[in-house]
Amino acid sequence: MSAVDRHKWNRRYRDGAYHGRTHPSAFLAECAAALPAPGRALDLACGTGRNAVYLADLGFAVDAVDISTEALAIGRARTPALPIRWLEHDLDSGFVPEGGCDVIVNIRFVNLPLLESLVPWLRPDGVMIVEQHLATAREDVIGPRNPAFRVAPGELARLASTLAIERIQEDVLTDPDGRKAALSRLLARRSPLVDGRHASAA
């Protein structure tokens, strides 16, 4: 991501973009029952931290990562008492967690090579929760018009091919604000057993 993009996102958050979006992703909330026992969670492209806060309230220690200094500052100011580390990082350059993850969340930030690189960092029974805009010819849906910021059908299933896929959904759905969105959603779990034996945390 270029310095121009970093400046763009900082400006958006400074100008109040997403100010009222404090509720967690609807898909993450739907997956709550599938989460493992609280441990470490990673929230990629966290923005001001709506999903990081949700996970922290459930008992997870969260690394919340974003390129925007402004977004991270807003999240940090809102949640001084929660176990969240706010990390400024350009995810387009990759990311290496400090130890294994019990939960990895990626909501509507497209970087499939990054997600693939993070699969080995899932601890046994850890889950990956992903929601992306789906490539579509429909014009009545929200989201980016640039196809580079949408995923093709089947792509999320492919990247999770070494995991147990518990939910895969590709459809036009209605967002909480009533707008239609073409979405690809994935809930996948690393087996408690790896190569026939209990695996240690990555």
CB count, 10 Å around CB of 194?
13
pLDDT over 70, % of the chain: 89
Residues 6+ apart with CB under 8 A from 136: 150, 172, 182
CA nearest neighbour of 163 among 122, 114, 117, 104: 122
pLDDT, tens digit, 9 for 90 and up, residues 133-187: 999 999 999 999 999 999 999 999 999 999 999 999 999 999 988 999 999 999 9
Structure confidence by residue, pLDDT tens digits, 44-83: 999 999 999 999 999 999 999 999 999 999 999 999 999 9
The DSSP element (H or E) to which 30 belongs, if any, is helix 26-30
Q: What is the pTM of this model?
A: 0.89
Distance separating alpha carbons of residues 89 and 92, to the nearest angstrom: 9
Burial of 44 (0-12, 13-18, 19+ CB in 10 A): buried
Contact in structure between 63 and 41 (CB atoms under 8 Å): yes
Q: What angle do CA 160, 164, 165 make, to 5 degrees?
A: 65
Q: What angle do CA 125, 197, 115 make, to 5 degrees?
A: 40
* pLDDT range class, residue 19, cuts 50, 70, 90: low
CA–CA distance, 25 with 17 (Å, rounded to integer): 16
pLDDT-derived band of residue 198, with 50, 70 and 90 as boundaries? Answer: very low
Gap between the Cα atoms of 84 and 46, Å rounded: 11
3-class SS string, 123-185: EEEEEEEEEEEECCCCCCCCCCCCHHHCECCCHHHHHCCCCEEEEEEEEEEECCCCCEEEEEE
